[in-house]
Amino acid sequence: MSNASKAQVLRYKFDNFMAKGSKSIFISLTVVFFAVLGFLSLMRGVIMALAPNRSQYHLQDGLNKGDGVADGFFHQVYIAWLQMTDPGNMAQDIGSTPLYWLPSVLAGIAGIILSSILIAVITTAILQKLEDLRRGKSKVIEDGQTLILGWDEQRVVEILRELIIANESEDNPSIVILAETPKEEMDDYLALVLPDTQNTRVVTRSGSTSSLPNLQVASVEFAKSVIVLGDTSEEATTEQKNESDAKVIKMILAVAASRGDDDPVNIVAEFYNHRHADILQKNVAHPVTVLDTNDVVAKVIVQTSRSEGLSVVYAEILSFDGCEMYFYGADWGGMPFDDVHFHFPDGICLGIRSEDGTLNVHPEPGTELADGDEVLILAEDDSTIDFVAQPVAAPRDLQLRPGRIEPMVENELIIGWNAKAPILIREYDEYVLEGSSVTVMLRSAAPNVLEDIRRLDEETDNISIRLLEQDPMEFDNLVGVDPANLNNIIILSRSGDNVDSETNDSETLMILLLLRNILDAADTELETKLITEVMDSSNQELVSRAGVKDFIISNRLISNLLAQLSEEADMKRVYDDLFQEDGSEIYLKPAATYFDTFPVTVSYADCIGIANKRAEICLGVKVKANEHLASENFGVKLIPEKNKSYTLNAEDCLVVLAEDDT
């Protein structure tokens, strides 16, 4: 302001200076202290000049005798200093004339006031520093860490569990979480639900996940991979999911800006709309692995309905706690891919990644491995993978039962509706024979749902779609759709406002119990499969007790995939192949598909050999008698020892990688 007075200008500058915090206050107190010290010293000097003989009393100890305390101006400065820093030193003037009592008292009062203010300032500064440390303001000093951007209690914990297992064989691993949630809240929650992180160090920082300074605090420049989480849930509305995608894009752009184009990092991001992901990938130089949550979950649900027990297989493959997929290279010497399985004591090979990066999942029979090729292998751990020159087992030349499984017209029931439903119906259309049907049961269908169903009915070639607007929690309504004569019943979670995971899972459990009562009382040869989507992993045990053999825990499935892709981005191409109808998928096929007589005693090597005769890869076996036992992994055993023997009955299954389910 041009008309401001000098006093106003000085006041303005002083306010700005003091607003800088504790440092400014400390400087100001120091200036005031020395100003008061100078004033009091000058006062004592004047008194000394006017009344040089200060002594009224002679002290018995000899400190002041005759002519009193030692004279001199600098001695007066020293006395004033002592009295300001410790009011108890006012006793220095006990033998002085009353003229010295005034500066002595003033020095004591000033010392008390300034000392009290200084102690308060120092205490406040220390507490503020401790609070800053608790809030996570200091820079993270880590190298090669996995950086997680965003916070969702369930998903973050699932991701951490997976990464902790993956890091068991690593040296000094670390995970950094940057989120807008207060640090103390994240720390308290992790301490409660994940108290043991084994050899992995988990560091949290609070701040904007798209802020460049906050990313620098999290040491994004040293991260080996970045996992970017959306900030909404599966039950959210389309508008909320679009907002989440926009925030994810902003976070990825911030990471790319922090690292620069010449320092790429593996970024794994969660999207709800694949179009948003396509836009991002065209505008970011860094490798971004995009996970379309709705697409993945819907495809896994469809595949699970094709093979009973497949959810158990995927739960193990998609977790670091069990069998995992790795890429492994060796000197193959032109070995056929069909034979390489028998040269690994632990593991079964699923595909080939060529030196030029080409990936071939489930290669054609007779394909030879070339120098520089890597096999895609399913093994217990990367430390157990060992290629040996001599085969560890040899399969017997067993007679393969002729024929294939005949496909048939199918009838499906979908209870509930969300963004996964259209994907699920389109996937079914790729698998089933013409003349199949899908019935959708909803309490009431919104106009956009009615339009989706009408359009899907026109687009699909092999299925017809029927809508029933009935309450699925009413027993008579479920009886009316004749569940016992359906091939599959799929229960999806509801989406929209005022719907949470606990409400969804509670309704799912109620519907499951009603369906189980109906199916148990039915007299039919058709075994209806119940497949359900579970939102909260803590409800897993309850769903199992409701008699459901196949259920997909959405949050855990996506979290496991995010964790795996952060360790090996190329696994995305593997899952893209496994999760779609074109290409090869994992099936559980009855042993009667392969053998004529039962029971039959075979080794795992025999199972691999006879599956090879159908151009399939055997990943393991499922014993039906154990499918209700969690301790036996619900009957599923992946990659057992090659020489391990099994006595199989017709209803037992081989877990195979195959082109189709016939």
Integer CA distances (angstroms), 284 to 255, 279, 565, in order? 10, 9, 18
Q: CB-based burial of residue 339 (10 Å sphere; 0-12 exposed, 13-18 middle, 19+ buried)? A: middle
Torsions phi, psi for 646 (to 5 deg): -135, 140
Of 16-20, 122-126, 183-187, minimum mean pLDDT range? 16-20
Q: Please name the residues in contact with 271: beta carbons below 8 A apart, sequence gap of 6 or more.
A: 230, 245, 248, 277, 290, 291, 292, 293
Euclidean distance between CA atoms 408 and 400, whole angstroms = 23
| Mean pLDDT calculated for residue range 463-476 | 91
Looking at residue 83, its pLDDT comes to 82
3-class DSSP assignment, residue 619? strand
Give the closest residue to 363 by CA, choosing from 371, 375, 355, 372: 375
pLDDT over threshold 60, residue 498: no
Residue 28 structure tokens? 């100001």
Torsions phi, psi for 12 (to 5 deg): -60, -45
pLDDT over threshold 70, residue 543: no
Our CA angle for 151, 152, 154, nearest 5°, is 140
Euclidean distance between CA atoms 423 and 299, whole angstroms = 8
pLDDT digits (tens, 9 = 90+) for 551-601: 677 778 888 888 888 888 888 888 888 887 677 888 899 999 999 898 999
Q: Which residue type sits at 68?
A: G
Per the CB < 8 A criterion, the answer to whether 587 and 322 are in contact is no
Per the CB < 8 A criterion, the answer to whether 92 and 83 are in contact is yes
Looking at residue 526, its pLDDT comes to 67
For residue 369, is it left (φ>0), alpha (ψ between -120 and 50) or beta? beta
Looking at residue 234, its pLDDT comes to 67
Q: Which residue type sits at 466?
A: R
pLDDT over threshold 70, residue 213: yes
Our CA angle for 406, 409, 412, nearest 5°, is 125
Looking at residue 202, its pLDDT comes to 92
Euclidean distance between CA atoms 285 and 257, whole angstroms = 10
Mean pLDDT, the chain, as a whole number?
83
Per the CB < 8 A criterion, the answer to whether 317 and 300 are in contact is no
Q: What is the DSSP string of 14-49?
A: HHHHHTT-HHHHHHHHHHHHHHHHHHHHHHHHHHHH
Q: How confident is the model at residue 546 (pLDDT cuts 50, 70, 90)?
A: low
Per the CB < 8 A criterion, the answer to whether 253 and 220 are in contact is no
Residue 102 structure tokens? 């005034």
Residue-level length of the chain: 662
Looking at residue 656, its pLDDT comes to 92
pLDDT over threshold 60, residue 55: no
Integer CA distances (angstroms), 318 to 156, 555, 556, in order? 16, 13, 10
Looking at residue 58, its pLDDT comes to 39
Q: How confident is the model at residue 276 (pLDDT cuts 50, 70, 90)?
A: confident
CA dihedral 509, 498, 557, 203 (to 10 degrees): -130
pLDDT over threshold 80, residue 3: no
Sheet containing 374-379: give its strands across.
324-329, 374-379, 348-353, 359-361
Q: Is the dihedral of CA 307, 313, 317, 318 positive or negative?
A: positive
Give the closest residue to 430 by CA, choosing from 580, 586, 616: 580
Q: Please name the residues in contact with 474: beta carbons below 8 A apart, sequence gap of 6 or more.
A: none
What CATH number does the domain located at 146-286 have?
A: 3.40.50.720
Residue 473 structure tokens? 């929690």
Looking at residue 646, its pLDDT comes to 92
For residue 334, is it left (φ>0), alpha (ψ between -120 and 50) or beta? left
Domains 146-286 and 411-553 are alike in CATH topology: yes
Of 7-11, 288-292, 340-344, minimum mean pLDDT range? 7-11
More confident residue, 123 or 339: 339
Residue 606 structure tokens? 């025999």
pLDDT digits (tens, 9 = 90+) for 147-170: 999 998 888 998 999 899 888 878
More confident residue, 188 or 56: 188
Per the CB < 8 A criterion, the answer to whether 365 and 579 are in contact is no
pLDDT over threshold 60, residue 603: yes
Euclidean distance between CA atoms 313 and 588, whole angstroms = 9
| Mean pLDDT calculated for residue range 229-233 | 81
User: Could you write out the three-class secondary structure of 101-120?
Assistant: HHHHHHHHHHHHHHHHHHHH
Looking at residue 63, its pLDDT comes to 44
- HSE of 27, CA atoms in CB hemisphere, 13 A: 9
Euclidean distance between CA atoms 214 and 207, whole angstroms = 6
Pairing mode, if any, of strands 348-353 and 374-379? antiparallel
pLDDT digits (tens, 9 = 90+) for 321-366: 778 889 998 888 889 999 999 999 999 999 999 988 889 999 988 8
Looking at residue 304, its pLDDT comes to 83
pLDDT over threshold 50, residue 87: yes
Torsions phi, psi for 428 (to 5 deg): -60, -40
Looking at residue 50, its pLDDT comes to 78
Give the closest residue to 486 by CA, choosing from 418, 433, 550, 413: 413
pLDDT digits (tens, 9 = 90+) for 243-267: 888 898 899 989 988 888 788 888 9
pLDDT digits (tens, 9 = 90+) for 604-653: 999 999 999 999 999 999 998 888 777 888 888 999 999 999 999 999 99
User: Tokens 């290409």, residue?
Assistant: 583
Give the closest residue to 507 by CA, choosing from 620, 425, 416: 416
The residues pairing with 618 across neighbouring beta strands, listed in sequence order, are: 656
Looking at residue 371, its pLDDT comes to 87
3-class DSSP assignment, residue 600? strand
Euclidean distance between CA atoms 452 and 433, whole angstroms = 22
First vs last Cα of the chain: how many Å apart?
86
pLDDT over threshold 50, residue 65: no
Domain locations along the chain: 6-135, 146-286, 411-553
Euclidean distance between CA atoms 378 and 411, whole angstroms = 34
Per the CB < 8 A criterion, the answer to whether 234 and 418 are in contact is yes
Percent of the chain with pLDDT over 70: 90
| Mean pLDDT calculated for residue range 208-217 | 91
More confident residue, 499 or 150: 150
Q: Which residue type sits at 35?
A: A
Q: Which fold would CATH assign to domain 411-553?
A: Rossmann fold (3.40.50)
Euclidean distance between CA atoms 205 and 191, whole angstroms = 15
Q: Running DSSP on this structure, what letter comes out for residue 650?
A: T
Q: Please name the residues in contact with 403: beta carbons below 8 A apart, sequence gap of 6 or more.
A: none
Looking at residue 533, its pLDDT comes to 79
More confident residue, 29 or 594: 594
pLDDT over threshold 50, residue 459: yes
Looking at residue 60, its pLDDT comes to 41
Q: Please name the residues in contact with 333: beta carbons below 8 A apart, sequence gap of 6 or more.
A: none
Q: Is the dihedral of CA 98, 103, 106, 112 positive or negative?
A: negative
pLDDT over threshold 80, residue 496: no
The residues pairing with 178 across neighbouring beta strands, listed in sequence order, are: 149, 205
Looking at residue 353, its pLDDT comes to 93
Looking at residue 56, its pLDDT comes to 42
3-class DSSP assignment, residue 395? coil
Our CA angle for 20, 22, 26, nearest 5°, is 110
